[in-house]
Each structure stands twice: as C-alpha cells, then as structure tokens.
Amino acid sequence: MTESISDAVSHLETLLQDLDHYSQDASLNAVTSIVSRIMADIKFIRDEYDMRIIAEHVLDFPAFQDLSECLGCISRHPESENRDLLYIQLSILFHFGLSTPNVFRRLVRDDWIPVLKDILLLPDLDVKVSHVTVLLFDHLCQVHEMSLHELDIIDTQLLNYLCELVESSRNDNESFNYAVIRLLITLNGQLMKMRGSVATHDRFLRVLEQRLNHSKTLTENLIFVFNRADTPELQLSITILLIGIFQYTPTRNLFYTNDLTVILDVGIREIQRVHDQNEELLHALVKLLPLVVVSGASSTSHKQVVNVLNKLNESAFTKLPTKRLIQRVVAELSLYDGHDP
C-alpha cells in the first residue's frame, strides 16, 4: 500500500512538472494541450484532492487568464461518452469558478444548469464524475436565482435520484454524500422562493413524503449539516428546509424523537450564538424551535424553548421585529398542551 501511494505521488509530481512546460504559453492551444496531458495520466489521479492540486496548478498559467476565450475552449458541450475527459473538463471548470466567481455566472448564462442535470442522470456514471458535477451544480445554483420556468429543471426525477444517491453512497464516500445533501438543500431553497406556486414550493417535501421509510441517511446527515454548517448561507438554507419539513404535515414525523432533541439543542445553541448578528437567520431559528417541540419533543424541551425565547425577548439588544416574532411564537406555544397537533 505504501509503495502504491508513493508511486501515485511520484506520477502526480511528474505530471505537474510536465504541465509547467505550458506555464508561459498564453495561447488556447495550451489549454487543449494541458487537458490532453492530464488525460494521459488519468489512471494515476486517485481522487478529487489530486485533481484539485492539478487544477489549481494550471489555473495560474497565462492560458487561463482570458476568461471568455478560455471558457469557450473548455466549456464546449461536454463529451459524455468519454467520462475521463468529462471529469477533467468539469474539475477544471469547478476550480476555475472557485478562484474566479465570474466563471460560475458565465456558465449559468451559457445554460450549464440543465447540462449538469443531464450529466448527473447519465447511466453508470462514476462517483468521481458525479461528485464534481454535484459540486458544480450546487455552486451555479448558489449564484443564480431561477425563474419559475427554470425551476422545471428541478423535477421529481432529479430530486428522487439525488435522494437515492444519498442513501446508496452512505458507506462509500462521505464527502460525496454531503455534497449531494448540500445540493438538495440548495435546490430546495430555489423551490421555496416561489411561494406563489404551491406545486413548486412543496416539490421536494412531496418527494420526501414518498420516501419516509427510505431516508435514514438523509435525515441523519441533514442533522449533521445543521450542526456543522460552515456558512451563514448554508445555515439559513438548512433551517428553512427543516421549517418546511415540520410545517408540511406528511413529513412532520420524518425525524426520530432522539433526532428532535439534537435539532433543538443545535437550534438553541445557534440562537444564542447568532443573536442580533444575522436577523434573517435568527428569525428562521425562532420559527423552527416551536415546530420541533410540537412535532414530538419532550415537555422539558417545551419549557427550555420558552425560557430561551423569553430571555432573548428581554435582551436590550434584540430588535423590535424579533421581539414581536418571539411574543407570537411563545403565545402559540402556550396553547400547545403536549399532544400531537
């Protein structure tokens, strides 16, 4: 095993040295040559971390500085029959976008969101290709608010497929599993922005309704993401999803009782941490806690939530709109007698 790792590292170093031959070439031919050289060593590229090293290495080259010309060369409609080439194309585009955010916006304008959906649904797609496709898909959806017409892309077939990916990748690739979950959270956020269309707004929730007995990994890892969300945007998106799950009667019991306790603990912690720093997130958390209580948490949790909200309401730093929301939520909780609604 040690020898094989050493060989892989050696091949990677050799590849990077060979790619340096194009470090002064600003022509588009250099981009094509770089992709071809990576293709030649594709069997030695072990995972997404190797590909990240390679992509970040070449993206500093002059050939990648002309955004428009370079994207025109790399992002032609991908060749789905050649999965290795597809993997390289998508990986370079993804890391290009991380270093130059305009890349993601350009890909949105070039209608890459439906292209990525089609790639994801290809039969017998390797995990490595699925993984980078999911990552790119997620980032494009984060920089673009879809129109009602565009939301047709996020159909039941795609959502079911992604949910099934979560369950099937449970023991295979943790980072891929969480990437799929984050994409589902992002797609749900897009759907829930269309409040005027119930069919669109509840689309993911209706998929979950059909998968109540087939979402063990999804529910476990949703809680994990809620607990470990690394950006305010992700934290808000998953909180909004949880609110939707608990408000939608068919999915209200998606989580086990022990899960509800964890969600409450995390929500209470985050309310105390966020306080007045992010009012939108704070309001979402305030709305979430009573929904969890009503969905089956213990009576002690009911008292705990009321105490936390009352303390927040009494704080001199709490803004008036937040105080009004808290007072309404506490009043509604006072009507709850501990029985299922």
Place 188 in a pLDDT band, splitting at 50, 70 and 90.
very high
pTM of the model: 0.91
Question: How many distinct structural domains can be found in the chain?
Answer: 1
Distance CA 118, CA 129 (A): 12
Confidence (pLDDT) at 144: 95
Is residue 288 included in any domain, yes or no? yes
Is residue 283 included in any domain, yes or no? yes
**Cα torsion angle, 160, 165, 166, 168, sign:** positive
Is residue 158 included in any domain, yes or no? no
1, pLDDT greater than 60: no
Residue showing tokens 């072990």 = 46
Confidence (pLDDT) at 341: 42
Asked if 247 and 287 count as a contact pair (C-beta separation under 8 A), the reply is no
Distance CA 72, CA 247 (A): 45
Asked if 159 and 111 count as a contact pair (C-beta separation under 8 A), the reply is no
For residue 286, the enclosing domain spans 256-340
Is residue 127 included in any domain, yes or no? no
Which pair of structure tokens corresponds to residue 220? 């476990």
Asked if 242 and 226 count as a contact pair (C-beta separation under 8 A), the reply is yes
Nearest to 91 by CA among 50, 125, 121, 126: 50
pLDDT, tens digit, 9 for 90 and up, residues 233-271: 999 999 999 999 999 999 999 999 889 999 999 999 999
Is residue 91 included in any domain, yes or no? no
Is residue 93 included in any domain, yes or no? no
Is residue 332 included in any domain, yes or no? yes
Place 195 in a pLDDT band, splitting at 50, 70 and 90.
low
Place 10 in a pLDDT band, splitting at 50, 70 and 90.
confident
Asked if 162 and 124 count as a contact pair (C-beta separation under 8 A), the reply is no
pLDDT, tens digit, 9 for 90 and up, residues 294-328: 887 666 688 889 999 999 999 988 999 999 999 99
Is residue 327 included in any domain, yes or no? yes
Which pair of structure tokens corresponds to residue 186? 């992002």
Tally of CB atoms within 10 A around 283: 17
Asked if 140 and 173 count as a contact pair (C-beta separation under 8 A), the reply is no
Nearest to 223 by CA among 189, 164, 181, 191: 181
